[in-house]
A and B are shown apart, each in its own frame.
Chain A
Amino acid sequence: MSDPHDEALASRLGMWVFIGTELMFFGGLLFAYMMARLAHAPGFAQASRHTDIVIGTANTVILLCSSAAVALAAEVAQRGAHHLARLALWLTLLLGASFMALKGLEYAHDWQQGLFPGVGVQLGQLGQSGIQHEQPLEGAQLFFMLYYVITALHAVHLLIGMGAILWLLAHESSHSIDTHVRRTEITALYWHFVDVVWILLYPLLYLIDRSTP
């Protein structure tokens, strides 16, 4: 019979090593963003001013709340409050679904305003008299290419996290309490990592060039 402490450490370490590999994955994309932004600063500034700051901020708040909810689930499950832990996991799931719904809405708005890389594209912004277009500077389309790749990959990671939480809730009664508590903790770690990636993306995609003329 293996020691439960060793098992807990092994699963925790396994998830941290996985998070390490994910750091390399998103790190490469963020490096590409950084280099492209240095090479095409005016185009990136112009393009990033067209992203939807209201939805971006709402999604940041939603993800931070979901991280708090899943952290609560992991903490209270360890202390025997299993009903509360289950409710916190459902809340996390609900917040994750809200994030995805808002992201979908944002993509739809972006598409309507022509914020998509392609031939002869013009950047649109919803004003008082409908959508006003402006000619993209060099690099603006590259910004949107990176924006879609990075945010879509982030959304895929979030979907995987939601799937893991659903699985956890569905199989709660088929495992021992110790196993369930450990799995809740590991799933929470993964969810926090997805949140950490968004925390970095939020200023890079929505904020940094907001005040530039």
Chain B
Amino acid sequence: MTAILRALKDEANAEVRRATAMIGLTLLVLLALVALTCWASYQHLGPARASAGLGIAACKIALVAWFFMQLRHAQALIVVALLIAMATMSLLFGLSATDYAVRSPAKSDYQTPQQIAPFFTKGHR
């Protein structure tokens, strides 16, 4: 950490300082959101607890994508590629969810696996 601060002092021009400050600020907000989501998980929010956890996660993802992944400077082609991927994923989620919604639930047997009788017993040896 000290080495990084020393290098920052040696190599920093105004642009490097600005970029470092922006990343540092984004990290602080992200850490504050971690603290918030952790605190919220212990509150009795009822059915809203899933929305709270995932909502804060969505904010964190937006911050990482916008500031760290440089989406704010991304060319149109990259934005289109990302939108196509998200649209395809939404379509697959939608189709799969529709299938689950209209199918009667079948009990799976993975919860209580059957114990197979030992093949080698004293009589066989």
A binding-site residues for B, Cβ under 8 Å: 9, 12-13, 16-17, 19-21, 23-24, 27-28, 31, 35, 39, 53, 57, 60-61, 64-65, 67-68, 70-72, 74-76, 79-84, 87-88, 91, 119, 138-139, 141-142, 185, 188-189, 192-193, 195-196, 199-200, 202-204, 206-212
Contact A203/B54 with A192-B68, A211-B42 known, Cβ cut-off 8 Å = yes
In angstroms, Cα B78 to Cα A189, docked, is 12
Pair A207/B78 contact, Cβ less than 8 Å:
no
In angstroms, Cα B27 to Cα A146, docked, is 29
- B residues contacting the other copy or chain, number (CB 8 A): 63
* Closest beta carbon of chain A to B48's beta carbon, Å: 11
Pair B65/A196 contact, Cβ less than 8 Å:
yes
Pair B15/A9 contact, Cβ less than 8 Å:
no
Pair B75/A27 contact, Cβ less than 8 Å:
no
Per-residue CB contact flags for chain B residues 1-35 toward chain A (1 = under 8 Å, else 0) read: 10110011011110110011001101100110010
Contact A24/B81 with A199-B60, A203-B53, A211-B42 known, Cβ cut-off 8 Å = no
Pair A57/B77 contact, Cβ less than 8 Å:
no
Among B11, B57, B68, the one with the most A-chain Cβ atoms within 10 Å of its Cβ is B68
* Closest beta carbon of chain A to B29's beta carbon, Å: 10
Pair B111/A138 contact, Cβ less than 8 Å:
yes
Pair B38/A207 contact, Cβ less than 8 Å:
yes
* Closest beta carbon of chain B to A151's beta carbon, Å: 16
* Closest beta carbon of chain A to B62's beta carbon, Å: 10
B binding-site residues for A, Cβ under 8 Å: 1, 3-4, 7-8, 10-13, 15-16, 19-20, 23-24, 26-27, 30-31, 34, 37-38, 40-45, 49-50, 53-54, 56-57, 60-61, 64-65, 67-70, 74-75, 77-78, 81-82, 84-86, 88-89, 92-93, 96-97, 100, 105, 110-111, 113, 115
Chain B residues with CB below 8 A from A192, complex form: 64-65, 68-69
In angstroms, Cα B125 to Cα A196, docked, is 56
A-B contact pairs, 24 of them (CB 8 A): A12-B74, A12-B78, A19-B82, A20-B88, A21-B85, A31-B92, A31-B93, A64-B30, A68-B26, A68-B27, A71-B23, A75-B20, A76-B11, A79-B13, A79-B16, A81-B7, A83-B11, A84-B11, A87-B7, A193-B69, A208-B41, A208-B50, A209-B49, A211-B42
* Closest beta carbon of chain B to A199's beta carbon, Å: 5
In angstroms, Cα B88 to Cα A28, docked, is 12
Pair B49/A61 contact, Cβ less than 8 Å:
no
Q: A81-B11, A204-B53 given; name 4 further pairs at CB < 8 Å.
A: A80-B11, A141-B110, A142-B110, A193-B69
In angstroms, Cα B74 to Cα A207, docked, is 33
